[in-house]
Amino acid sequence: MYRYDEFDHAFVSARVEQFKDQVERRLAGELTEDQFRPLRLMNGVYLQLHAYMLRVAIPYGTLSSRQMRKLAHIARHYDRGYGHFTTRQNLQYNWPALKDMPKVLDELASVEMHALQTSGNCIRNVTADHFAGAAADEVADPRPYAEILRQWSSMHPEFSYLPRKFKIAVTGAERDRAAIQVHDIGLHLKKNGAGELGFAVYVGGGQGRTPMVAKKIRDFLPVEDLLTYTTAIMRVYNLNGRRDNKYKARIKILVHETGTEELTRQVEAEWQVLKESDLKLPQKDVDAIDSYFRAPNLPLRPEGWSELAAARKADHSFSTWVDQNVTPHKNPDYGVITISLKPIGGIPGDATDAQMDLVADIAERFSQDEIRVSHEQNLVLPYVAIADLRIVYDLLLTDGLATANAGLITDIIACPGLDYCALANARSIPVAQRISERFGKAERQADIGELKIKISGCINACGHHHVGHIGILGVEKKGEELYQISLGGSGDEICTIGDITGRGFSSEEIVDAVETIVDRYLEIRTDKEETFLATYRRVGAAPFKDALYSEAANAA
Amino acid sequence: MSDISEKSAGELWGREGFREDPYITAPTLEEAADAPAVILPLTVWLGIEDDVRFATNRKIGVSVAPGENVEPLLALLDRIPLIALEFPAFNDGRSYSKAEMLKNQHQFKGELRAVGDVLVDQVAYMLRTGFDTLKVSHAVTLARLADHNLHDAPVYYQPGRGSHTAPGTYSWRRVPAA
Show me where the domains of chain B are located: 2-176
Distances in whole angstroms, Cα of residue A106 to Cα of each of A1, A110, A151: 21, 6, 20
Helices in A331-415 by DSSP H: which ranges?
353-366, 389-397
Which of B171, B174, B175 to mutate: most A Cβ within 10 Å?
B171
Of B91, B105, B157, the CB nearest to A121: B91
B99: nearest CA in chain A? A158
Q: For A413-555, which CATH class?
A: alpha beta
In three-state secondary structure terms, A467 is helix
Helix, strand, coil content of chain A in percent (nearest 5): 40, 20, 40
A5: nearest CA in chain B? B169
Among A487, A507, A351, CA closest to A427: A507
Chain B residue numbers with beta carbons less than 8 Å from the beta carbon of A227 are: 172
In three-state secondary structure terms, B7 is strand
**How far is the alpha carbon of B158 from chain A, nearest alpha carbon, in Å?**
6
Q: Cα separation of A458 and A476, whole Å?
A: 9
- pLDDT at site A242: 97
Q: Cα separation of A278 and A306, whole Å?
A: 55
Residue A269: HSE in the Cβ half-sphere, 13 Å Cα cutoff: 7
pLDDT one-digit tens code per residue, A326-359: 999 999 999 999 999 999 999 999 999 999 999 9
CA angle A284, A168, A181 (to 5 degrees): 120
A272: nearest CA in chain B? B105
**How far is the alpha carbon of A163 from chain B, nearest alpha carbon, in Å?**
7
pLDDT one-digit tens code per residue, A395-418: 999 999 999 999 999 999 999 899
Q: Are strands B24-25 and A350-352 parallel, antiparallel or unpaired?
A: unpaired
Residues of chain A with CATH 3.90.480.20: 6-109, 304-397
Mean pLDDT, residues B15-38 taken together: 94
Chain B residue numbers with beta carbons less than 8 Å from the beta carbon of A39 are: 121
Chain A residue numbers with beta carbons less than 8 Å from the beta carbon of B112 are: none
Q: pLDDT-derived band of residue B8, with 50, 70 and 90 as boundaries?
A: very low
Report which residue type is found at A223: V
A273/B105 CB distance under 8 A: yes
Q: For A142-291, which CATH class?
A: alpha beta
Q: How many CB pairs under 8 A join A and B?
A: 111
Of B121, B158, B171, the CB nearest to A282: B171
Q: pLDDT-derived band of residue A251, with 50, 70 and 90 as boundaries?
A: very high
With a CB-CB cutoff of 8 Å, which residues 17-46 of chain B face chain A? Answer: none
Q: Are strands A505-506 and A499-500 parallel, antiparallel or unpaired?
A: unpaired
- Is pLDDT above 50 for B45? yes
Mean pLDDT, residues A79-86 taken together: 95
**How far is the alpha carbon of A449 from chain B, nearest alpha carbon, in Å?**
46
Architecture of A6-109 per CATH?
A: Alpha-Beta Complex (3.90)
A285/B171 CB distance under 8 A: yes
Helix, strand, coil content of chain B in percent (nearest 5): 30, 30, 45
pLDDT one-digit tens code per residue, A261-306: 999 999 999 999 999 999 999 999 999 999 999 989 999 999 999 9
B70: nearest CA in chain A? A239
Architecture of B2-176 per CATH?
A: Alpha-Beta Barrel (3.20)
Q: Cα separation of B171 and B178, whole Å?
A: 19
Among A512, A511, A517, CA closest to A499: A517
pLDDT one-digit tens code per residue, A527-542: 999 999 999 999 999 9
Fold of A304-397: Sulfite Reductase Hemoprotein; domain 2 (3.90.480)
A121/B1 CB distance under 8 A: no
B95: nearest CA in chain A? A239
Return all residues near A375 (Cβ < 8 A) that are at least 6 apart. A61, A87, A88, A89, A127, A130, A178, A179
Helices in A388-501 by DSSP H: which ranges?
389-397, 429-438, 442-448
pLDDT one-digit tens code per residue, A420-478: 888 899 999 999 999 999 999 999 999 999 999 999 999 999 999 999 999 999 999 88
- Is pLDDT above 80 for A553? no
Residues of chain A with CATH 3.30.413.10: 142-291, 413-555
Chain B residue numbers with beta carbons less than 8 Å from the beta carbon of A22 are: 121
Chain B residue numbers with beta carbons less than 8 Å from the beta carbon of A282 are: 171
Q: Cα separation of A487 and A466, whole Å?
A: 8
- Is pLDDT above 90 for B4? no
Chain B residue numbers with beta carbons less than 8 Å from the beta carbon of A158 are: 93, 96-97, 100, 125, 129, 158
Contact of B167 with chain A, judged by CB distance below 8 Å, is answered with no
With a CB-CB cutoff of 8 Å, which residues 61-120 of chain B face chain A? Answer: 66, 90-94, 96-98, 100-101, 105, 119
A273/B121 CB distance under 8 A: no
